[in-house]
Amino acid sequence: MSKATSLHAKFGSIELLLDVPSSCLGISKRKWHSAFLTMYCSRAFLSLPPSSQPKDTKATKATFLSRTVSYSIVSVESVSVPAINGFEVDQKGLTELVKEKNLNQLLELGGVEEVASALKTDAVHGINGDDADDIAARHEAFGSNTYKKPPTQGFLHFVWEAFKDITILILLGCAALSLGFGIKEHGLKEGWIDGGSICLAVILVISVSAISNYRQSRQFDKLSKVSNNLQIEAVRNGRRQLISIFEIVVGDVICLKIGDQVPADGLLLEGHSLSVDESSMTGESDHVEISVTENPFLFSGTKIADGYGRMLVTSVGMNTNWGEMMSQISQDTGEKTPLQARLDKLTSSIGKVGLAVAFFVLVVMLVRYFTGNTEDENGNKEYNGSKTKSDDIINAVIGIVAAAVTIVVVAIPEGLPLAVTLTLAYSMKRMMVDNAMVRKLSACETMGSATTICTDKTGTLTMNQMKVTKFWLGKESVEEEAYSSISPYVLNLIQEGVSLNTTGSVYRPSLDSQIEISGSPTEKAILSWVVHGSKINMEEVVKSCSILHVEAFNSKKKQSGVLVKRKADNSIHVHRKGAAEMILAMCTSYYDASGIVKDMDYNEKMNFEQIIQGMAASSLRCIAFAHKEVPAEEQVEGDQKVVLKEDGLTLLGLVGLKDPCRPGVRKAVEDCQYAGVNVKMITGDNVFTAKAIATECGILRPGQDMLGAVIEGVEFRNYTPEERMEKVEKISVMARSSPFDKLLMVQCLKQKGHVVAVTGDGTNDAPALKEADIGLSMGIQGTEVAKESSDIVIMDDNFASVATVLMWGRCVYNNIQKFIQFQLTVNVAALVINFVAAVSAGQVPLTAVQLLWVNLIMDTLGALALATEKPTRELMEEPPVGRTAPLITNIMWRNLLPQALYQITVLLILQFRGKAIFGVSDKVKDTLIFNTFVLCQVFNEFNARKLEKKNVFKGIHTNKLFMGIIAVTIVLQVVMVEVLKKFADTERLNWGQWGVCIGIAVISWPIGWLVKSIPVPEKPIFSYLKMKKNKHPR
């Protein structure tokens, strides 16, 4: 038997043994298959007969290998394959494959397509989204696309935080001592009342504070869930559809485009010009190129910087690096806004004054007590030197300390931070209803100070519902019914250019069903025009060519291109699509309707520019198509970099897309302008389209001087810094702008002292959104990069919602000012009354429990009542609040000082002459003071509703919460006086005494009405003091 015959026999055996179709084997089985092939071949060679060995006997002896026959029976079918829920791949292997970017292992597995097969995924049509069992099996095998969050802070955490307040701790200490000595002296039945009352009041204050903070924390958690719930475009059942990021499963096919966040770890199935920003994972700012052959690995949390593609999801949730990172990051609800920082300073200043007064009262009362100038209820001296019991001295000192500490409690306006928290939380909740999701708290209040809004055109001022209404072929406008007269060759080129040079898709489940078109509004409009207008089968067009290279669209180039190879004749063609002027500049010839190519000289180019300008002046967006066949000698070979032709193209045609203005946008623009806010439009469209839309929206007015009001981005860019600063305020419209131009304008406006709000939706808008005082991204068309760079997301992409956000911003600021005015009135009155009474009479008229009750009314209930006022049209009648405007304005001082003075006067009269006037005991007199003081605050709460308007009752019926809080406060006050006598240290009042208290309190309404007639200077009061200091330096 010859060597050849023997080998032939062996390989024949191999062929018989290994006649197993590879397509029916999974990844694990194919590895066994490969191992068996290697072993069998080795043994086949080793078992060759001696005749086939070399003839040299010496050599044979030395090198002869034993011809021991070894038989191995391997059954391929019986190999057990570890499979999870029927999937031929495990999660650990997939996770490591992507994390380690192991390209060799991926190739061993058979590439991305084989991984998709192992995951039971069709690489083109995706998974079966209607099969609930399949989705459940994927969840069970690979987990869900959610990550564990650190445990949220419970209610007890907020109780503990409230307990940490030093004044509360001192009061509790005093209460405990008072409780101990009281029980010792008077027994449990009577002795617990003083200390127990303080304890209960303190617990009530702590509880209300903890509940408010706890509810706010829950509110932030809810908003966080909404902001994290991204909508992702997935392919399921062959159809592109939007699904929640939390619904993504391993095996899903996800569509990615510029600006998207990669929602899970995965492998690239196909992509064009795809590059990814991995800085969120690696910290490196350089973009990473992603390709199917060299680097197909995509990581959750990274951003698509350029291009587009489709990915296969291999790991979700906690199996990704991003999931592990996010599970360790807790939501920061402790963010301090600028207004909160300013209020902290104000609180600190008021607290210092209160501390000084309390300390002075403490010293005076201790001196008066130890010098024998104080008397008990029976008129006896409280301190008689050595005759006084030590228990009585300690009780008296505790009472004095408690009174002094309570003055501090009343003086420190803890309600200010609470009011800001409440009004911000309330406004955030209401703004969600009005289609605005707040990502950064500070934006709520900053928006109230906005002086300029720089807005996009498409989708913000317009509806973003594009439709092709004009088509020019050559220099002729072609109506839809005349498409059949167009040269079939030219029509085929247009169809090819539209079908292959697009990021959109066309899906038709069956011949009887409707065609579904997905993509951006512009892509959808053009695809719809070609599919419905020329009745083409896009699938056939796509199958007839193979795509060699793609230049994806971005806002800088304003065009996209594709290099394709026709399968019929192997010819290579370039197709370009984009802004009409950009494409026109690349063309040297054009097709007419007959399919004849004509040269395009300077005059012809001018004719086409006039056609473009004519369409633009009719508010149409102009898109051009161009084509060029690449000669054989210019075709790129091998690994050379492909660069698409940018000159010598032939113009195929022009289309005009109509995007109507949003209903109500003109009124919203006028509202902003009426409120003193300048609206500027910054768009990538050409200057004629921009001017037409701006006029339609009311940004440009008829008869307005257009010189300097409408410019192009390149012109603004080329100004000197001095020219830019000089002209920036006059600009109303900037056309053909790049993201850099938008950033430049924001920087110039900020340098001029403006508070700038900017809208943006693209990835390249991120720098301008970050630079602006308030970044407003679009919820529908906005990319994830834009949303993450913004402060507020406009959920419906509507400019009217931007105007609503402006009104809410002013409302937040206004509500805070109302509460400050209300609180300062109480602070001033309480401090002065206690101070004067302590110094003159040696005792404070309001007990610790009563002062804590007042504190609760003004701090918590008052904050809740005034901080939840809804925005009114009146807010838009005022100019914007300046960046450095004082928090307490002259108007507020005018309103609060007369009220405080009135309260101080009345209560001091009651303190010193109340017994004589009403003929009552000290206990009743003190109750009258307490009751009158509380009712004055209740009635003054109405005055605080309007800072300038005299009619404080306007719109009160719409604020049910306000009326509810007023009712609750009055009911609780009646209970305090009439029922909880021992607890509140009060006496019951008769109807006449109640009438006197209410009558005194009601007078605060006419006082409020009268003082609002007093004019105030615009310049802040304290600025005059600063001027004097500057004039007389030491």
DSSP secondary structure code for residue 509 in this structure: S
3-state SS string over 677-738?
CEEEEECCCCHHHHHHHHHHHCCCCCCCCCCCCEEEHHHHHHCCHHHHHHHCCCCCEEECCC
Q: How many CA atoms lie within 13 A of 374 on its CB side?
A: 23
H helices present in 876-1003, as ranges? 890-918, 922-943, 960-978, 981-984, 991-1002
| Interatomic CA distance for residues 404 and 411, integer angstroms | 11
Tokens 């006029």 found at: 695
SS3 853: helix
**Cα Rg of the chain (Å, integer):** 40
DSSP annotation of 554 reads -
- Say which of 456, 659, 773, 985 is annotated catalytic: 456
456 is catalytic: yes
Q: Is residue 587 within 8 Å of residue 546, measured between CB atoms?
A: no
- As a whole number of angstroms, the distance between CA 959 and CA 998 comes to 23
d(CA 886, CA 683): 36
Cβ atoms of 865 and 856 closer than 8 Å:
no
**Which are the contacts of 320, defined by CB distance < 8 A and separation ≥ 6?**
95, 264, 265, 299, 300, 301
Alpha carbon dihedral 643, 646, 649, 653, in 10-degree steps, equals 110
At 458, the amino acid letter reads T
Phi/psi of residue 835, nearest 5 degrees: -65, -50
653: helix, strand or coil: strand
CB 112 within 8 A of CB 267: yes
Q: Are 659 and 463 in contact (CB under 8 A)?
A: yes
C-alpha distance from residue 704 to each of 694, 701, 727 (Å): 12, 5, 16
Cβ atoms of 275 and 91 within 8 Å: the answer is no
Buried b (16+ CB within 10 A) or exposed e, 60-96: eeeeeeeeeeeeeeeeeeeeeeeeeeebbbebeebbe
Number of other residues whose CB lies within 10 A of the CB of residue 787: 24
**Do 888 and 824 meet the contact criterion of CB atoms below 8 Å apart?**
yes
The closest of 118, 116, 500, 137 to 310, measured between CA atoms, is 116
List residues bridging with 775 in a β-sheet.
758
Q: Are 418 and 208 in contact (CB under 8 A)?
A: no
Output phi, psi for 236, to 5 deg: -135, 135
HEC states along 261-303?
A: ECCCEEEEEEEEEEEEECHHHHCCCCEEECECCCECEECCCCE
DSSP symbol at 857: I
Burial of 790 (0-12, 13-18, 19+ CB in 10 A): buried
Cα–Cα distance for residue pair 686/617, rounded to 1 Å: 10
Residue 639, phi then psi, degrees to nearest 5: -90, 10
Calculated CA dihedral for residues 350, 356, 362, 367, nearest 10 degrees? -150
- The set of catalytic residues is 456
